[in-house]
Amino acid sequence: MTTKHTSGHLSLDAEPYTYEFDPAHTALVIIDMQRDFLEPGGFGEMLGNDVSQLRRTIEPNKLLLAAWRAAGLQVIHTREGHRPDLTDLPPAKKVRGRGATTIGDAGPMGRILVRGEAGHDIIPELYPLPSEPVIDKPGKGAFYATDLHSILQHAGIKHLIVTGVTTEVCVNTTVREANDRGYDCLVPEDCVGSYFPEFQEAGLKMIKAQGGIFGWVSDSAKIISALEALSSPTT
Ligand code: TIU
């Protein structure tokens, strides 16, 4: 059940307990919904991963993004990737995995995880509007070596709804970074995905364990109905 709390303040069912937020001070942060991670024939699939595990998040993210935009709230997108000259690519990251094809090499949709290449860009279903900041991040966390914290601070943001891929890698790292910087993070479980079902489950459990050690877990339908309560208050 979703309730309208007080003017501008919403609360919704979440684990480990009710999540309370003021939408005007809350950003929807969509992590790395990039073609190379999600599309058949991309880098993720080339590594042997099952992209359908991630693709099930597209529709719920579309609905949540549409509701968030309709309410006029802050949206931020991120992309994992590197400069074309790879000067921001740590050598350790370049060689990790000992793959024949690694970051910066020619891949199925251009150079892998290089800014400006087709595979690096966000999938068309969730494409950013010109007014929505896109954070290009060289790491797994969205705060490391980016201006995300400044952008959020200038916009007065205190709460983050974090969606995207992958649950245990870039979403988890970003939620941990955000938590340490004082943001209250909510993760809608249907809007985050992992190539590995066991990591999807564990990645969500880690966030909400120990009284919400890093944040809260809920789902997109609850967030959308909370927003509807905001736009049509009953009393
Ligand atoms: N965005 C993100 O999670 N990047 C990754 O590399 N994820 C993997 O699961 N490999």
3-state secondary structure 106-126: EEECEECCECCCHHHCECHHH
- What integer pLDDT is reported at residue 45 of this predicted model? 87
Angle of the 172-180 helix axis to the 197-212 helix axis, nearest 10: 20
Which residue is catalytic, options 4, 36, 140, 170?
Answer: 170
- What integer pLDDT is reported at residue 4 of this predicted model? 39
The C-alpha atoms of residue 164 and residue 58 are separated, in whole angstroms, by 9
32 noted as active-site residue? yes
Q: What is the CA radius of gyration of the chain?
A: 17
The C-alpha atoms of residue 166 and residue 77 are separated, in whole angstroms, by 14
Preceding amide of 174 cis, omega within 30: no
pTM over 0.75: yes
Closest CA to 106 of 98, 93, 118: 118
Q: Is 184 exposed, middle or buried (0-12, 13-18, 19+ CB in 10 A)?
A: middle
pLDDT digits (tens, 9 = 90+) for 90-100: 999 999 988 88
- What integer pLDDT is reported at residue 1 of this predicted model? 43
- Name the E strands within 57-98: 74-80
**Ligand 1 centroid, distance to 66 Cα (angstroms):** 25
- What integer pLDDT is reported at residue 234 of this predicted model? 56
The C-alpha atoms of residue 163 and residue 184 are separated, in whole angstroms, by 14
Residues linked to residue 186 through DSSP beta bridges, in sequence order: 161, 216
pLDDT digits (tens, 9 = 90+) for 110-119: 999 999 999 9
The C-alpha atoms of residue 39 and residue 70 are separated, in whole angstroms, by 27
The C-alpha atoms of residue 192 and residue 96 are separated, in whole angstroms, by 24
Which residue is catalytic, options 36, 121, 136, 137?
Answer: 137
Decide if 65 contacts 75 (C-beta within 8 A).
yes
- What integer pLDDT is reported at residue 42 of this predicted model? 84
Which of 30, 80, 121, 163 most suits a substitution to test ligand 1, by most atoms within 8 Å of the C-beta?
80
Query: Tens-digit pLDDT profile for the chain (235 aa)?
Result: 444 333 479 999 999 999 999 999 999 999 999 999 999 988 888 888 999 999 999 999 999 999 999 999 999 999 999 999 999 999 999 999 888 899 999 998 999 999 999 999 999 999 999 999 999 999 999 999 999 999 999 999 999 999 999 999 999 999 999 999 999 999 999 999 999 999 999 999 999 999 999 999 999 999 999 999 877 655 5
- What integer pLDDT is reported at residue 6 of this predicted model? 38
**Ligand 1 centroid, distance to 130 Cα (angstroms):** 25
The amino acid that residue 84 corresponds to is P
